[in-house]
């Protein structure tokens, strides 16, 4: 196959599956920007790693959030979806901007407020952009995993025992919810996205930066 035909083949692959590219864990912010375009600091409720630098990118129908430790991507989340405009009470928007409401709380209140969108008194309503997630197919999950490591390197991962199980079959319709590869990358799969992380870097960072945001407080020594 000549270089021209090979180049056309890679172009077609990129159009059909925009996430089919080189690995992203370990990349610098500059490399992420070259890959996805300009990003923006993650807003309250969108941070995926507390005390780290979090950037959000919008790329070909995907929202990609990268967390950087020592200027390298340590955790990255892929969510497929779109931005839609919704009317919500102004107080919800103000509270969220002030950090009083997290993303889930604000979403619940926004859904509740949506029932009153036809109320004649809309003076206290405001329009906000909300990211609506779409289901991710097993093929899209596999593409993300393949971009980081060959298929044969991924194993099912038991988070309780922190042990790797036997090789799973990518021919199966469903992909296991948690996997690990030979390089210590862990993938968390949900119906609406995939989060990848370098386990050893995350564990060391959380240890050095203090108690993780969602962790239970440490028991003091009496």
* pLDDT tens readout for residues 81-91: 887 777 777 76
Q: 174, 138 in Cβ contact below 8 A? A: yes
Residue 166's pLDDT band, with cuts at 50, 70 and 90, is low
Residue 136: pLDDT over 60: yes
Instruction: Tell me the C-alpha distance between 87 and 103, whole Å.
Output: 16
> Is the pLDDT score of 140 beyond 50?
yes
Poorest-confidence range of 70-74, 97-101, 148-152? 97-101
pTM: 0.69
Among 67-81, 83-97, 152-166, whose mean pLDDT is lowest?
83-97
Q: How far apart are CA 163 and CA 180, in angstroms?
A: 9
Report domain extents, the chain. 13-81+135-209, 83-132
Residues 215 and 136: their CA atoms lie apart, in Å, by 28
- The pLDDT score that the predictor gives to residue 158 is 74
Q: What percent of the chain has pLDDT over 90?
A: 26
- Contact indicator for 157, 184 with CB cutoff of 8 Å: no
Q: Which residue has the higher pLDDT, 122 or 54?
A: 54
SS3 for 151? helix
pLDDT band at 182 (very low <50, low <70, confident <90, very high): confident
Look at residue 6 in the predicted model and tell me its pLDDT.
35
DSSP state of 50: T
In this prediction, residues 192-216 reach a mean pLDDT of 79
Place of tokens 């990003």: 39
| Region of poorest pLDDT, from 40-44, 46-50, 162-166 | 162-166
| Of the listed ranges 85-89, 94-98, 213-217, the one predicted with least confidence | 213-217
Which two three-digit tokens encode residue 185? 């990358």
- Would the pLDDT of 96 be above 70? no
């Amino acid at each position: 196959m000549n270089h021209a035909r090979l180049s056309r083949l890679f172009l077609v692959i990129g159009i059909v599956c925009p996430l089919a590219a080189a690995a992203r864990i370990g990349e610098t912010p500059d490399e992420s920007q070259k890959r996805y375009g300009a990003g923006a600091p993650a807003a309250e409720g969108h941070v995926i790693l507390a005390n780290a630098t979090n950037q959000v990118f919008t790329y070909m129908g995907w929202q990609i959030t990268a967390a950087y430790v020592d200027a390298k991507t340590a955790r990255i989340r892929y969510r497929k979806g779109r931005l839609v405009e919704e009317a919500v009470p102004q107080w919800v928007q103000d509270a969220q901007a002030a950090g009083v409401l997290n993303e889930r709380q604000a979403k619940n209140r926004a859904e509740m407020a949506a029932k009153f969108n036809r109320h004649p008194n809309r003076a206290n309503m405001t329009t906000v952009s909300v990211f609506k997630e779409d289901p991710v197919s097993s093929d899209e999950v596999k593409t993300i995993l393949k971009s980081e490591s060959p298929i044969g390197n991924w194993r099912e991962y038991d988070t309780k025992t922190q042990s790797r199980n036997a090789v799973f079959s990518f021919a199966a319709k469903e992909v296991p919810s948690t996997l690990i590869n030979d390089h210590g990358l862990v993938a968390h799969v949900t119906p609406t996205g995939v989060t990848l992380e370098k386990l050893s870097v995350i564990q060391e960072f959380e240890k050095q930066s203090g108690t993780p945001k969602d962790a239970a407080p440490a028991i003091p020594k009496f």
